[in-house]
Structure 1
Amino acid sequence: MNGARAGNLKSYMDIPKVPETVERLWNGWELRVVMLLSLFLQMFLIICGRIRKYTAGFWIGNLVWLAYLSADWVATFSLGILAQKIGDSETNCINSNRGSIPAFWAPVLLVHLGGPDTITAYSMEDNELWLRHLLVLGSQVAVAFYAFTRSWWSEDPLLFVAIPIFVAGIIKYGERNWVLRSASSKQYRNSVYSEMNELREKFGNFPNSELFEMTHTQLVEKLRLSDIIPQARFLHEAYLFFQMFRVLFADLVLAESIHLATHIILKEKSAMDAFKLVEVEMGFMYDVLYTKLEKVRSSRVIFRAITFLGLVSALLAFSLGMSKNNHAYSTAEITISYLLLYGAIVIEIYSVVVLLFSDWAMLWLTGLRKPLFNFVYQTIYSTQILSFLHNDKRWESRMAQHNLISFQRSKGKLTRISLKKLLGKSNIQSLKDVGADLKEFIFQHLLDKQTRYNLRMRTPDFLHEILSERGDHVIGLEECLGNLDWSVKHPDFNESLLTWHIATDICYHDDVRKNVAEAKNDGDANNIHPNREIKMSIELSNYMVYLLLDYPFLLPRGIGKERYNQTCSAVDDGADLLGPIISGQDPSWDSYETMLRFENSPRKVSALWAGFKLAKSLQALVTQNGWETKRKWEMMSQVWVEMLTYAASHCGWKDHAQTLTRGGELVSHVHLLMAHLGLSEQCLTTGR
């Protein structure tokens, strides 16, 4: 038995210890892995950093967020490992003991810390931290230089390869800090004054009386846009709008003549073209706040040329050194070194290509007004060369949807834990396209507001009155303000929003039930399909509630989130009544008994009772006042557009700028359209 025990003990001792094996493996590969991870993060960011400019995708947004936060940490962590390991083994380069770490790995990490051109800041707050980044720059350059000097004693013949990469890394990291500083609030505001002076010079000779009578053709001639090729004119118009946007974003005011000029341009556009102009304009602003593109396009291109040449020369020198076979590098180090150098050069080339096919480059190209350059632009425009880099779909044109009642009723059935829930993004039930009909509907509504403003001599008081409309104007035109004014004049806008949201939902399901009944009697199944006004009302209603939940800073301040939670509790309490109503099985939802139960509910502070009361009043317009159902939904859709415009104009520009990092929101596009039509309190009105 003792022999058996001894044999078992011997067998046990022969088994290799896994932790020690893993430790040796990690010690040999930890630096290699983090170096490759740093390179991968840079490649991911430069590609996906520009994708988020025009898409609101959940996965893209969160992956970019994770990569952005990880990239600097991984590069810094790698520098720390390098500082510890490089030079520890002071083997002579002629020695057969291979495994030395190339000295240029440290400055390559400085290049990575400089970040890709397509994303310098993830959010507006990152720009305000430029001074912290500057301090980090100094410390990381010191660490990289320390690692470089330690490798000096190894007598590595390829040590000189690190010198041009050092230059490239310092330039790129310094460039990043310069861009962050330029986009910070203080520096941005200072830079905008030159933009204001340029606009004043451009419109200084435009008296308001002349602009009121000026046609679009005359204005284009005055602004010297007539000699721009037609295919590129929208870029120059969008840039003019962008110059105005930059000033408004700094919370400064503009002369009325500038608003009048942009109004003349917009009123000649279709709704689709007007929205496209705003999309290009918001793309320009995104580049200013979150990328390097707007800065590197100017005279600083010389720095980009130095960076590129430095990386290419390092690659050539390293390749030449490898051919002489007098180095102390292992095969793994050689392979990773090539990957790092080639990867850095590919990133630089991709950055240049992105810049060459950007709106900034096309704006400059066509602004030269030369036949050759116009031909180049027309070739790109007509053949869509490298369309994956020059994306015409500058905005995804989608809006998220959240229906309070349906979401709350299905909430108990959803037991699966998802990543969206963990990140607090589970409120999006679906995404709807912002189609041509809705854009036309919104744009026409804004033009009507602008026309009324002009008819009242453009006085500041009337402008404030127009911007304060949140459904009461539409209801007043229909002469039913006495019955419905309570629903839109609540002191808290969010209360009105939830009330109309529930009423819209109830009216929709009640009308569907009636249409189904009529379809059965008439044998016409087409009656149950919602018309355009119903579709727009439902989609805008669900979109506004989504904003209330996920982006309340885009709405006027209030207790909307608390009222939403109270309403959800009331929905749970009344689940037995709501179920048949939503499913269209209960035709007596507005009976005295049902309304009395909701009225006497202990959760009367919720918006559910008010929503049912409003729905009953809206349905009574058809059953008692003789309205057609179509007329009712036309009024409701107008109310929702008016609520949208009210919300858009009562939110700060910096809040709207935050939406640019996820493709932009419809409410932000509406806000810009209103500003360009003169429907903004940042317009210096003087009257006619």
Structure 2
Amino acid sequence: MGIHDVSQTVHKLWNGWELRTVILLSLFLQVFLVLFASRRKYTAGFWLGTFVWLAYLSADRVATFSLGILAQRLGDSETNCTNPNPGFIPAFWAPVLLAHLGGPDTITAYSVEDNELWLRHLLELGSQVVVAFYAFLRSWWSKDPLLFVAVPIFLAGMIKYGERIGVLRSASSEQLMSSKYKEMNELRSQFNRFSNSEFFEMTDELETTDERLIQRLGLNDIIPEAKFLHEANLFFQMFGVLHADLVLSDSNHLASYLILRNKTAEDAFHIIEVEMGFMYDVLFTKVSRIRLSHIIRRAVSLLCFVSALLAFSLGMSKNNHAYLTTEITVSYLLLVGAIIIEIYGAVFLLFSDWAMLWLSGQKKPLFNLVYRTIWSSLFRSFLHNNKWWTGSMAQHNLRSAQLTENKWFDISIIKKLLGKSHIQSWEVVSLELKKLIFEQLKDKRSRYSYRMRTYDPGKNDLHEILSERGDQVIGGERCLEKLGWSVNCSDFNESLLMWHIATDICYHYDFPKDGGDANNVHPSCKMSISLSNYMVYLLCDCPFLLPKGIGKERYNQTCIDVSQFSTSLKRIISGGSDLDGFIETLELQGSQVSGLFNGSKLAKALQSLVTEDGWENERKWEMISKVWVEMLTYAASHCGWKEHAQSLTRGGELVTHVCLLMAHLGLSEQCLTN
């Protein structure tokens, strides 16, 4: 067989399988997105995000491409049930592809920006409906004996695509802001039953619980297992207002402060996690608050696909020669796949936090029993994974990254080439760290009084409190004269890098003193290292979550200096030499933009607290950990909500949860002070 014959055979084979291949690929992409797209909420893996991104971008293009091929091939020749045509294609394949363009319930937008493109999707809907209808008409001319099967699928496809556009539109910034005006008015009316004096009275009573407030808000009849969902829902309404760049009145954030004030750090963070889960659903999925219209649409779509499958099966029993065996197999796969996707979407909604919120909100014994049954079921654990975010911090240590980057092969090299990740490892956000953050935030809140509006330097100036990035902690330890220069830089990123270098050097100085056993390292030391590496990761991969500055350039110059002085730096961290000579060398030869010189200088000053001022190592590391928490809170409060919302698609970020926790404690400049 010659090359020409092989080419002819391949060409014929491809012509026969081209449409079948792309339409099955479209189904596969839908199934993949159904199963894995929602996992972005609690998974920060590089590969999952990459595959979901590829599937999301490919799904619409493959379905559109398939529609084009289908419109060209349908009806090219006439046929009927007594005169089978090898090229005959079922008419309902076109509306099935229209349903694919509607997408699964688990993902409507990959990023926040996709919601702004709803008008483009509306235009595409019009064009794709025309193409699908054109393909349907060509089937009509070809006398397809099962033409009627396409009618219910057409209806389901229109519903699913229209629903997707509606969700994208409602999540766009303009519509979101418009809807939040309504929510803000609802919140205002909800809290109008309280007077400001009542709130101030409850706030002043430090020992009081939130029972009074909960009772007035109608949450006292909620079963204990579901109370956190309703508190998170109340907070979510407030967050929606903040996300739309609106302001909250005193009564709103005083209420959230009263609810959070007496909770443990674990419970407070848990409520924030659930609240962020609500926001993820609204911005990136079709799963949202339970409404009758949504249930009706889901039921109609499912019934349309089921009726189409039954009609096709019945038609095949009477006209078993209408299509080729391959077309029949592909048809069954498309219909069964569509039904499974619809059922999965319905089950996913039934087991979602929104359904649990609705069930427990009915406040009836039967509904409470159903809630407890679903909540404790293993199936819900499988669907939800009992997580609302990844619960971890990405880690990037500048020094170790530079000193180990010359490996022959490292997966991080591939990630860097793709511009996706500088992540070296992950560290679980421990309960100790949550307690430290929560306690420092409550301390900040205690220094701000909403009753007293007069200016009181260091106590009642909210802007000044939010501008603290380590100076409050250092001042409390009476070290401003020795360390104040390190946190008062005009560029926050400069302080971040020098404290990162200093923390790393101090850790390697002190670690051998603990016998080289990581289990003997003080918890404050562990938290300091974790936060230090996490903040540098944000600087590298998520600079939009940090205050603006020349952080990237400082990072690059610091990396150059670390590589240039790697030999000396290795001797220092191994305890082979002191810092004095190294600092003198850096002063003469190092870059002015680099953070290595100032970081080494700061490390020497921190070590002198122990060697000269008589501090215990534990006290030093407690101060360092609190400085890092203050830097984290500073970064959290100096970033836009849109950037924080975008981080939800990568498993969530600790800085986002801290930012929201601060807002609910009233530590946000969007909290109205009238």
CA contact (8 A) 2:572 2:579 kept: no
Separation in 2 of the partners of 1:201 and 1:384?
A: 40
**Could you say what secondary structure the match of 2:394 adopts?**
strand
| 1:552 aligns to 2:546 (yes or no) | no
The code of the aligned residue for 1:284 comes to F
Match of 1:647 in 2: 635
| 2:173 counterpart of 1:185 | yes
Asked if structure 1 preserves the Cα contact closer than 8 Å seen for 2:108 and 2:168, the reply is yes
For 1:507-527, what per-residue CA distance to the aligned partner results, in whole angstroms no more than 9, with x for missing partners? 1111124x06xx5xxxxx669
Q: Within 1, Cα distance between the matches of 2:309 and 2:25? A: 20
Q: Which residue of 1 aligns with 2:131?
A: 143
Tell me, yes or no, if structure 1 residue 397 matches structure 2 residue 396: no
> Runs of at least 4 residues of structure 1 off by over 6 A?
none
What's the CA shift for 1:326? 4.9
Of 606, 615, 627, the residue aligned with 2:603 is 615
Amino acid at match of 2:135: A
Does the CA-based 8 Å contact 1:53-1:660 persist in structure 2?
yes
Which residue does 1:573 correspond to in 2? 564
Work out which of the residue numbers 340, 344, 347 in structure 1 matches 2:338.
Answer: 344
Counterpart amino acid of residue 260 in structure 1: L
Establish whether residue 39 from structure 1 lines up as the match of residue 27 from structure 2.
yes
Distance 1:455 1:91, change over 3 A: closer
| Structure 2 gap segments, 5+ residues each | 203-208
Quick check: 1:263–1:677 contact (8 Å CA) kept in 2?
Answer: yes
Q: 1:527 to 1:543 in 2, by over 3 A?
A: closer
Contact 1:216-1:265 at 8 Å conserved across structures: yes
Give the corresponding residue for 1:522.
none
Per the alignment, residue 437 of structure 2 pairs with 442
How much has 1:444 moved relative to structure 2?
A: 0.9
- More moved, 91-100 vs 657-666: 91-100
Q: In the alignment, which residue of structure 1 is the partner of 2:51?
A: 63
The superposition leaves residues 195-224 of structure 1 with CA deviations (integer Å, 9 ceiling, x where unpaired) of 011100111122222123334111111111
Conserved 8 A contact 1:472-1:485: yes
- Long gaps (5+) in structure 1: 1-11, 520-524
Asked whether 1:231 is paired with 2:219, we answer: no
- Say whether the 8 Å CA contact 1:92–1:155 is kept in structure 2: yes
SS at structure 2 position matched to 1:52:
helix
Q: 1:23 corresponds to which residue?
A: 11
Correspondence for 2:273: 279
Equivalent pair of 1:179/1:295 in contact (CA under 8 Å) = no
Is 1:564 matched with 2:555?
Answer: yes
Query: Do the aligned partners of residues 615 and 183 (structure 1) sit closer, same or farther apart at CA in structure 2, a change above 3 Å counting?
Result: same
Deviation at 1:225, TM superposition (A): 0.6
CA contact (8 A) 1:99 1:333 kept: no
Corresponding residue for residue 657 of structure 1: 645
**Aligned-partner Cα distance in 2 for 1:362–1:560:** 44
Q: Distance in 2 between matches of 1:25 and 1:544?
A: 55
Matches within 5 A, 1:55-134: 55-134=43-122
RMSD: 1.7
CA distance in 1 between partners of 2:286 and 2:410 (Å): 41
SS of the aligned residue for 1:102 comes to: coil
Aligned to 2:206: none
| 2:501 counterpart residue number | 502
Report if the CA contact (8 A) 2:95-2:153 is conserved: yes
Mapped partners of 1:303, 1:361: distance in 2: 16
1:168 aligns with 2:137: no
For residues 423 and 483 of structure 1, do their structure 2 counterparts lie closer, same or farther at Cα, with a shift above 3 Å needed?
Answer: same
Work out whether 1:684 is the aligned partner of 2:672: yes
Which TM-score applies when normalising by structure 1?
Answer: 0.94
CA–CA distance in structure 2, aligned partners of residues 310 and 79 of structure 1: 20
1:424-439 equivalent positions in 2, closer than 5 A: 424-439=419-434
Does the alignment pair 1:381 with 2:375? Answer: yes
In 2, the alpha carbon distance for the partners of 1:213 and 1:383 equals: 43
Q: How does 1:157-556 map to 2 (within 5 A)?
A: 157-214=145-202, 215-294=209-288, 297-416=291-410, 419-454=414-449, 457=452, 462-513=461-512, 515=513, 519=515, 529-556=520-547
Residue 385 (structure 1) shift: 4.4
Q: Secondary structure at the match of 1:387?
A: helix
Cα-to-partner distance string for 1:111-151 (whole Å, 9 max, x where unaligned): 00000011000001110000100111000111111111111
Label 1:274 to 1:459 Cα distance change in 2 as closer, same or farther (>3 A): farther
Is the Cα–Cα contact under 8 Å of residues 290 and 358 in structure 2 kept in the other structure? no
What's the CA shift for 1:452? 1.6
Residue matched to 1:8: none
Residue 383 of structure 1, CA deviation: 4.0
* Mean CA deviation greater in 202-211 or 442-451: 202-211
Q: Is the 8 A contact 1:119 1:292 kept in 2?
A: yes
> How many angstroms does 1:381 deviate by?
2.6
Summarize the Cα distance change of 1:375–1:326 in structure 2 as closer, same or farther, 3 Å threshold: closer
SS in 2 for 1:400: strand
Residue 604 of structure 1: CA displacement? 3.0
Identity of aligned residues (%): 67
- Paired residues of 1:498 and 1:607 also in contact (CA < 8 A): yes
Taking structure 1 as reference, are residues 675 and 69 closer, same or farther at Cα in structure 2, changes over 3 Å only? same
What is the rounded CA distance, in whole Å, between the counterparts of 1:284 and 1:393 in structure 2? Answer: 13
1:589 to 578, 584, 600: 578
Structure 1 window deviating more from structure 2 (412-421 vs 439-448): it is: 412-421
Q: 1:459 to 1:278 in 2, by over 3 A?
A: farther
Q: How does 1:597-612 map to 2 (within 5 A)?
A: 597-612=585-600
Partners of 1:297 and 1:360 within 8 A in 2: no
Are the equivalent residues in 2 in contact too, given 1:420–1:426 (CA < 8 A)? yes
The answer to whether the 8 A contact 2:590-2:597 is kept is no
In the alignment, the residues of structure 2 paired with residue 254 and residue 151 of structure 1 have an alpha-carbon distance, to the nearest angstrom, of: 58
State the SS of the aligned residue for 1:453.
coil
Q: Kindly indicate whether the alpha-carbon contact (under 8 Å) linking 1:110 and 1:140 is maintained by their aligned counterparts in 2.
A: yes
Change (3 A) 1:458 1:231: farther
Alpha-carbon displacement from aligned partner over 1:281-323 (angstroms, at most 9, x marks no partner): 0011111111111167442322222211111111111000100
Shift of 1:330: 0.6
1:251 shift after superposition = 0.4
- The number of aligned residues is 663
Deviation at 1:327, TM superposition (A): 4.0
AA partner of residue 416 (structure 2): K
Helix, strand or coil: the match of 2:461? helix
Q: TM-score, normalised by structure 2?
A: 0.96
- What's the secondary structure of 1:431's corresponding residue? strand
Q: Match of 1:147, SS? A: helix
Deviation at 1:99, TM superposition (A): 3.9
How far did 1:391 drift?
3.3
Conservation of the 8 A alpha-carbon contact between 1:99 and 1:328: no
8 A contact 1:288–1:294 mirrored in 2: yes
Alignment-mate amino acid for residue 333 of structure 1: E
- Distance in 2, matches of 1:292 and 1:563, equals 42
Assess if the C-alpha contact under 8 Å between 1:427 and 1:550 holds in 2.
yes
Deviation at 1:358, TM superposition (A): 0.6
In 2, the alpha carbon distance for the partners of 1:236 and 1:22 equals 61
Q: Report the alpha carbon displacement of residue 456 of structure 1 after superposing the two structures with TM.
A: 8.8
Query: C-alpha offsets along residues 17-46 of structure 1, whole Å, 9 cap, x if unaligned?
Result: 322222111111011011111011111111
Distance 1:229 1:295, change over 3 A: closer
Cα distance 1:44–1:609, how it changes in 2: closer, same or farther (>3 A)? Answer: same
Mapped to 2, the partners of 1:505 and 1:16 lie a distance apart of 67
Checking the alignment, whether the CA contact within 8 Å between 2:450 and 2:673 is kept in structure 1 is: no
Quote the Cα distance in structure 2 between the aligned partners of 1:223 and 1:549: 44
Bigger shift: 450-459 or 383-392?
Answer: 450-459
